Amino acid sequence: MLKKIKKIDDDSTLLRDDRTGIAAIHNGRDGLNYTLHPSIDKTGSVRGMKKLGYWGKDDRVVRTGSY
């Protein structure tokens, strides 16, 4: 469940998922949430992202939504 943290401006709100700790910006104009954390497509490889150095070896990885 996303929790409102702070209203940024008339159309944008900072949100955080209490379960995962993932933060996002909700854009009221288009109704979409934009994550503040790196993400990959569901067909991507977590092992590959770490091997290439995009994510740290000890980074916490959380699956959320369909991503």
pLDDT of amino acid 41: 75
DSSP-assigned beta bridge partners for residue 12:
27
Spatial contact of 42 and 67, defined as CB atoms under 8 Å apart: yes
Q: How far apart are CA 37 and CA 28, in angstroms?
A: 20
pLDDT (average), residues 20-48:
85
DSSP H or E segment with residue 23 = strand 23-27
The answer to whether the predicted template modeling score (pTM) of the entire model surpasses 0.75 is no
pLDDT digits (tens, 9 = 90+) for 35-62: 877 778 777 888 888 888 888 888 888 8
10: confidence class by pLDDT, cuts 50, 70, 90: very high
Q: Is the pLDDT of residue 27 over 90?
A: yes
Question: Kind of pairing, strands 2-7 and 12-17?
Answer: antiparallel
What are the φ and ψ backbone dihedral angles of 4, each rounded to 5 degrees? -70, 125
Spatial contact of 36 and 27, defined as CB atoms under 8 Å apart: no
